[in-house]
Amino acid sequence: MTGKISNTSLEQRARNIRRHALRMAEVQGQGYIAQALGIADVLAVSYFDGLNYRAHDPEWEGRDRFLLSIGHYAIALYAALIEAGIIPEDEIETYGSDDSRLPMSGMASYTPGMEITGGSLGQGLSIAVGMCLGLKRKQSGSFVYNLLSDGELDEGSTWEAAMSAASFGLDNLIAIVDVNNMQADGPSKGILNFEPLHEKFAAFGWHVQRVDGNVIADLVTAFRAARACGQRKPRVIICDTKMGKGVDFLEARERNHFLRVEPEEWSRALEAINAGRAS
């Protein structure tokens, strides 16, 4: 809910999101935890300063939609939905198990608050464009947020959607790109160089901001400016994030797209978050 809470409270929310994600990953002993730690600040600002929603009525028509293109980041979104009160905290123990509402890849039909099934990369922005057009036809004031990864920028469909969004003047669309400079096969820029990203989105007709995605105060300013910019343009917030943020030995891992962590390391990771070194 657009609650305008203090940055200190948002930092606490981000720490809680990291804790929930770590506890889920511990259930499986592995997971996409480095991304979750990296994106926790963005999710805290999204769910506690940016989005309008009703925790007890996740399908409320007047809500802002948050689309997760990147199904493998589901662990991060579940952690935010738990912190937001949309998913009960005790479901953490079911993470990734048969019959759980929290499968390892995000599935819209399973989980409250999960708007789309996004595991096939590069589809989210196109879905967001369609939703934005539909909301405009209904004269809704809701915004559609779409969290993409830097790996998704390699998908041509992302750029078709970016061009469409500007062409249709979708000022109800806010894309968030997590630039963690990592993909499944290694550092993103070594695979396909997507820079200069600010200039690319600007050339496509978007309102563009680029921020440190692990600095709450900067995120708050950018998220508020994206809603309020007043131009008839889609908006993008490019967020540079640090994988493993807040847990020094996970930040230091080189190939951290998918992590296995030893049992004793989970408690060390939680201690690092509890000690407040995150954010």
Asked, as a colleague might, if the bond just before 88 is cis with ω within 30 of 0, I would say no
Which of 126, 142, 149, 172 touches ligand TPP by CB under 6 A? 149
**For ligand TPP, the closer CB: 58 or 151:** 151
64 binds ligand TPP (CB under 6 A): no
Provide the b/e sequence for 54-76 (b: ≥16 CB within 10 Å). Answer: eeeebeeeebbbbbbbbbbbbbb
Which of 1-9, 48-56, 57-65, 120-128 is the region at the interface with ligand TPP (rule: CB under 6 A)? 120-128
Which of 115-123, 131-139, 169-177, 213-221 is the region at the interface with ligand TPP (rule: CB under 6 A)? 115-123
Which of 106, 151, 213, 234 touches ligand TPP by CB under 6 A? 151
3-state secondary structure of 3: coil
- Provide the minimum distance between the beta carbon of 37 and ligand TPP in the complex, in angstroms, as a whole number: 12
Please state the separation of Cα 105 from the chain's center in Å.
14
Which of 6, 8, 97, 120 touches ligand TPP by CB under 6 A? 120
- Provide the minimum distance between the beta carbon of 34 and ligand TPP in the complex, in angstroms, as a whole number: 8
Please state the separation of Cα 228 from the chain's center in Å.
20
Helix spans in 29-123 (H): 33-45, 74-83
- What's the Rg (C-alpha) of the chain? 17
Tell me the residue length of the chain: 279
- Provide the minimum distance between the beta carbon of 8 and ligand TPP in the complex, in angstroms, as a whole number: 28
- Provide the minimum distance between the beta carbon of 118 and Mg ion in the complex, in angstroms, as a whole number: 14
241 binds ligand TPP (CB under 6 A): no
Contact call for residues 158 and 148 (beta carbons, < 8 A): yes
Task: Assign 3-class secondary structure to 131-194.
Answer: HHHHHHHCCCCCCEEEEEECHHHHCHHHHHHHHHHHHCCCCCEEEEEEECCCECCECHHHHCCC
**For ligand TPP, the closer CB: 121 or 165:** 121
268 binds ligand TPP (CB under 6 A): no
Which of 36, 40, 67, 70 touches ligand TPP by CB under 6 A? 70
List the helix and strand counts (H, then E) for the chain. Answer: 10, 7
184 binds ligand TPP (CB under 6 A): yes
Q: Interface residues with ligand TPP (CB under 6 A)?
A: 35, 70, 72, 119-122, 149-151, 180, 182-184, 188, 257
